[in-house]
Structure 1
Amino acid sequence: MRGPHNILRLIRTAATFERTGALGVVLDAMNAPISIRIVTRVFGWPMRWLGYKGDPEMPPVTRALTALGPAYIKFGQVLSTRPDMVGDDLALQLRVLQDKLPPFARDVAKATVEEELGQPADEIFSEFSEPVAAASIAQVHKARLVSSGEEVAVKVLRPGIERAFRKDIDAFYFAAWSIELLSPSSRRLMPQVVIEHFDHMVTGELDLRSEASAASEFAENTAGDANFQVPLADWEFSGKRVMTLDWADGLPLGDNAALDAAGHNRTALGERVLQLFLSHALRDGYFHADMHQGNLKVAANGDIIAYDFGIMGRIDEYTRRVYAEILIGFIQRDYKRVAVVHFEAGYVPADRDVDEFAQALRAVGEPIFGMDASQISMGRLFQYLFEVTERFGMETRTELILLQRTMVVVEGVARSLDPHLNIWEVAHPVVEDYIKTNLGPRAILRDLAKTARVLARFGPELPKLAEAALMQQTAQQPLPASPSRRHAAMYILLGAGIAGAGFMLSALLGA
């Protein structure tokens, strides 16, 4: 962690926002008080010449973020989906960051293809277009395979992108370390762990082989989802810096005028996007974690097409059940249930009062449910929930960071299609169906069957495990040893009983 280098990077960040005029736009969007505006101007003006100039043809905020580099662009992409937070004008400006950034030359892309795949691009592709989309990490070309004549999309990483990201992330690590040092109360939020999580995501996104694998798994999981398409990767013509996928035509999900002209129902599309995300997260535990408008299109038949699988989220079955119970508790306004789930999952320290926590959660939920449908927001819920959990000593749950962030982005996408969409009503049937399927009696039987199968695999080892346990207990407690022996024997018999019951349950369930 190079201190001086990172300090300069953060100073230049502030200076770039000042120099490009972005700082004033951000302060206006935040309705910043006059005191904040005065302080930022007093300190920002003398440093403005340390900032990057950027492209003067771009709007101020877009200009600043593109000048600062890919990590900042990623941040802007998230904000572009939240007009309720940054305003319609700024959200529209930031949408350029999703897939309309300045491209690099086609010849550079073809040279990357040759270097990565070991043969000239013209021997693989009979056609290779100019860039059709350019984002923060890579750009896409439309091409045609020599071998089959099929149209494909060829994704190529930007030159030097790995080094650029590394520089930004180093500065973010330094900022997180500084925050923890200067503000001990922030340590419960684990800023450095959050950056580490982001670092891991970005590292995966910079290896297109990982993205091809993610696309393959995602396609398998969602094969039965109606009105949803995932382009498949061609492994023969994919590598670390190049990926070839099926070509899929569609209208950008962020172009409302084009969607209206084509006769698509934007309200239905907004509902579908939100329900697809919740279904993938809860049902599969594997979800697209970068679902902004630039990565979603609408086919002529109304299908939603997903692109760009560089950032995918994965949550285990237990966490999915906890998350679903929290959501359904808020939807049903059962705040005691939400509180109990937090305690059972260990999210809130056990020495806190569950009824007091439930009352605090009521103060979070009730104002939101009293709002007009257009004002109900998952983002607002998470903001209020954050304030409450801080009071009760809840630490940041790293396994939920990506899930919650994506939920906010998806909500923004749905809201951009229909500002009056009632998020809770749309989410309710998906979450309720998951609860019925995974938390009822049949789910308990399935869990017992899984446990039994695991125990059964250790069947041949049980005598040795029992002997080792008895010998350890005898060595530690020579007198009296019999209770420990009895306990060990009970555990072994219990395990054997569960295993036997499990085999019967497996047969009954068809597992």
Structure 2
Amino acid sequence: MGLGSTFRLIHAGWVLAREGAFSILPVASLPPMMKLGVRMARLVERPAVRKTGSVERLNTALHRLGPSFVKFGQTLATRPDIVGAQAAADLSGLQDRMPPFDAALVPAILSEALGEKAAALTEISPPVAAASIAQVHKAKLRQPGEAPKVVAVKILRPGVSERFHADTQALYAGARLAETFSSASRRLRPTEVVKTLDHSMRLELDLRLEAAAISEMAENIKDDEGFVIPAVQWDQVAQNVLTTTWVDGIPIRDHAAIDAAGIDRKALAAKVLQGFLRHAIRDGFFHADMHPGNLFADPRTGHVVAVDFGIMGRIAKPERRFLADILYGFITRDYRLVAQRHFDIGYVPAHQSVEDFALAIRSIGEPLHGRTADNISMAKVLGQLFTITDLFDMQTRPELVLLQKSMVLVEGVARTLDPELDIWTVAEPVVGDWLRREEGPLGRIEDLGQHLRRAGEAAGRIPNLIAQAELALAEHRAALRRPRDRLMRFAILATLGMGFVAFAAVAFMALRFAGQA
């Protein structure tokens, strides 16, 4: 752990404490050690924060600390039920209203990244949105033989890679410190969690990969309704430049404009939640940064329009089944199923009791049923989860970290659109249909097909395996022969030596006898 990373971590903690970051945490729901830490951090708060409870300068502080800290603030901004309405409002500026970089740099950046193809981008506007990683400009794309097209040009901030690297080194330092000095934190595997986030952020810094993600998701959702994404303009894509079709929409956080356009906010909330669940459970590939700055409502259709696909999540079939079963277990109040799946995937160690864990899950699930979102205190729910994870020695699964973080974001967006949202009722059509399909004949046939494909691939590898086995056996036999060969050579040399000695002795005796004669 480098000294620079440790210093940066300490500096970040000081800045966050000074600007009131710890004042917005639900202290009453935290474990005792975390409560103590928050109280100590609040000792250095600015007086203005203590008096007003407002953290209006926290946006600036997070931006100054770096992109990883901004991402954390964006997540908190979607959860007024956890951090409070005022703090969420103060943090909302992190979503797409960050200070832009100098627009005078844009022509040179485009020219260096795209070469001659940069000339096709004309009438480039000032930044229309600026976030921690990149900013977006509106432009006209003029291709030979085609009508001019309005496009969005996303450009990475200069130097953002270096800032991100410094961020992650500080986070790694914090994770290692936690693992060293807190045995309770080890089960949460903080270093592995940071590694997962590090990987996803590195992908975000290459806009060619974002273009590929848009392309893959477009194929996945081509037959869906209610969720729309832009199209990639591949000739104007580079590592630090991404060009897509322009999408018009109302920012999803602008509730007044959505209402004025006659869009049903309840239906829009359902589309946000169901779209995410469909992508995660059905496709195993989902938008992992669905904060309000990346979501719009189409005023003509009422559909959800998503942008910014820099952070994507991917989960395999077992994890998709885990998510579906967990949600369905809560929907149907089958807490034994929820508990068993946590054991199956390795969240809870095998030595714990499934029945006891099911009882603990019931204590969380039952109070949620029959209540709308505005009557549910997520701070209290999180407090119970803290207690349960500690009681049952639950382990973190790093591959599910992005999924969990994304679900927090999506649920927060849906709750703000529809405070009366019944999450279980909205989720059931997607989750239930997928599970019924998986359990039905078509799902069984697909599973059988996958098993047969794997068996076929394994059978195709058999000749190579046999050849490798024969080669290994030949090498083994050669290795066994080598000691025998060495022994034989030694025996031959010894025999020859003895023969030479005997011959010399006989010759010497003969010569001596001849001399005597």
Normalised to the residue count of structure 2, the TM-score between the two structures is 0.82
Give the structure 1 partner of residue 160 of structure 2.
161
Give the structure 2 partner of residue 483 of structure 1.
none
| Deviation by residue 1:246-280 (Cα, 9 ceiling, x = unmatched) | 01111100111111111111111011100000011
Q: How far apart, CA to CA, are the structure 2 residues paired with 1:286 and 1:276? A: 12
Pairs within 5 Å for 1:34-183? 39-40=40-41, 42=43, 44=44, 59-119=56-116, 121=118, 123-147=119-143, 148=146, 149-183=148-182
Retained in 2: the 8 A contact 1:376–1:422? no
Give the structure 1 partner of residue 9 of structure 2.
10
Q: How far apart, CA to CA, are the structure 2 residues paired with 1:379 and 1:213? A: 37
Give the structure 2 partner of residue 341 of structure 1.
341
| Secondary structure of the structure 1 residue equivalent to 2:116 | coil
Give the structure 2 partner of residue 433 of structure 1.
433
Aligned-pair RMSD on alpha carbons? 3.0
Q: How far apart, CA to CA, are the structure 1 residues paired with 2:184 and 2:141? A: 57
Give the structure 2 partner of residue 360 of structure 1.
360
1:281: how far off? 0.4
State the one-letter code of the partner of 2:226: N
Structure 2 vs 1, CA of residues 156 and 181 (structure 1 numbering), >3 Å: closer, same or farther?
same
> Considering only CA atoms, is the larger Rg found in Structure 1 or Structure 2?
2
| Secondary structure of the structure 2 residue equivalent to 1:129 | coil
| Secondary structure of the structure 2 residue equivalent to 1:143 | strand
Give the structure 2 partner of residue 419 of structure 1.
419
Count matched residues: 460
Q: How far apart, CA to CA, are the structure 2 residues paired with 1:275 and 1:379? A: 24
Retained in 2: the 8 A contact 1:102–1:134? yes
State the one-letter code of the partner of 2:5: N
Unpaired segments ≥5 residues, structure 1: 49-57, 474-511
Give the structure 2 partner of residue 406 of structure 1.
406
Pairs within 5 Å for 1:208-223? 208-223=207-222
1:381: how far off? 5.1
State the one-letter code of the partner of 1:340: Q
1:371: how far off? 4.4
| Secondary structure of the structure 2 residue equivalent to 1:231 | coil
1:38: how far off? 6.3
Structure 2 vs 1, CA of residues 12 and 472 (structure 1 numbering), >3 Å: closer, same or farther?
closer
Q: How far apart, CA to CA, are the structure 2 residues paired with 1:386 and 1:342? A: 15
Structure 2 vs 1, CA of residues 334 and 175 (structure 1 numbering), >3 Å: closer, same or farther?
same
Task: Between 338-347 and 159-168, report the one with greater CA deviation.
Answer: 338-347
Structure 2 vs 1, CA of residues 210 and 222 (structure 1 numbering), >3 Å: closer, same or farther?
same
Unpaired segments ≥5 residues, structure 2: 47-54, 474-517
State the one-letter code of the partner of 1:260: D
Structure 2 vs 1, CA of residues 372 and 458 (structure 1 numbering), >3 Å: closer, same or farther?
closer
1:333: how far off? 0.9
1:118: how far off? 1.7
Q: How far apart, CA to CA, are the structure 2 residues paired with 1:77 and 1:427? A: 24
Retained in 2: the 8 A contact 1:25–1:61? no
| Deviation by residue 1:142-195 (Cα, 9 ceiling, x = unmatched) | 000122411110000111111111111111100000000000221111000111
Give the structure 2 partner of residue 317 of structure 1.
317
Q: How far apart, CA to CA, are the structure 2 residues paired with 1:176 and 1:158? A: 27
Retained in 1: the 8 A contact 2:26–2:83? no
Structure 2 vs 1, CA of residues 197 and 457 (structure 1 numbering), >3 Å: closer, same or farther?
closer
| Secondary structure of the structure 1 residue equivalent to 2:151 | strand
Retained in 1: the 8 A contact 2:347–2:395? yes
Q: How far apart, CA to CA, are the structure 2 residues paired with 1:6 and 1:159? A: 22
Retained in 1: the 8 A contact 2:82–2:378? no
Q: Select the residue among 24, 27, 34 that pairs with 1:26.
A: 24
Q: How far apart, CA to CA, are the structure 2 residues paired with 1:258 and 1:151? A: 23
Retained in 2: the 8 A contact 1:378–1:407? no
Retained in 1: the 8 A contact 2:214–2:231? yes
Pairs within 5 Å for 1:179-258? 179-258=178-257
Q: How far apart, CA to CA, are the structure 2 residues paired with 1:297 and 1:384? A: 34
| Secondary structure of the structure 2 residue equivalent to 1:139 | strand
| Secondary structure of the structure 1 residue equivalent to 2:326 | helix
Structure 2 vs 1, CA of residues 440 and 10 (structure 1 numbering), >3 Å: closer, same or farther?
same
Retained in 1: the 8 A contact 2:23–2:42? no
Normalised to the residue count of structure 1, the TM-score between the two structures is 0.83
Q: Indicate the structure whose relative CO is greater, using CA pairs within 8 Å and at least 6 residues apart.
A: 2
Structure 2 vs 1, CA of residues 217 and 386 (structure 1 numbering), >3 Å: closer, same or farther?
farther
Retained in 2: the 8 A contact 1:374–1:422? no
1:108: how far off? 0.9
State the one-letter code of the partner of 2:208: R
Structure 2 vs 1, CA of residues 190 and 24 (structure 1 numbering), >3 Å: closer, same or farther?
closer
Retained in 1: the 8 A contact 2:298–2:305? yes
